[in-house]
A = this chain, B = another copy of it.
Amino acid sequence: LESDLERLIEGLTLSYHRLTARADALHGPRGVTTGIRALILLLEQAGPLTMSEIAAARSVSRQFIQRLCQSLAAGGWIETRPNPRHRRSPLIALSEKGKAEAGRIRALEAPLLAQLAAEVPAQDLARAADVLARLAERLGAEA
């Protein structure tokens, strides 16, 4: 018999894949892949970051982020700025085009989010969000 935790992991994996497929359908035509989308939204929320900070925030390798940043720079969505605290770790910041794209991403996703939020009672969503935050935290702490 399958445990609740295994059901939870199955549900989050399937939700992740389907959310990714939805995002690809919405943003792929503009060349915005899942990775590009995530980085644009992260930089919008957090402001300029170094590559190491980006890699830590997403729990992915610095090599992966380096390749991703090359794609974003080629697309004109980001620009690098000198870092006053670390001369050898420049800051990655959204360009004007990147800021506009962040707004476009959110606007295109808003109807889907509204539709999904209407499907599940707000209290259940809040509790599930708490459980997932705790799960993510434990998975990060023991790594």
The size bracket of the interface on A is 35 or more
Interfacial chain B residues near A112, Cβ < 8 Å = 142
**Could you give, for residues 118-130 of chain A, a 1 whenever the CB lies within 8 Å of some chain B CB and a 0 otherwise?**
0110101111111
Decide if A100 is an interface residue (CB 8 Å cutoff). no
State the main secondary structure of chain A at its contact with B.
helix
B11 touches A133 (CB 8 A): yes
Interfacial chain B residues near A108, Cβ < 8 Å = none
Interfacial chain B residues near A138, Cβ < 8 Å = 115-116, 119
Which residues of A does B touch, CB under 8 Å? 3-19, 21-22, 38, 58-60, 112-113, 115-117, 119-120, 122, 124-136, 138-140, 142-143
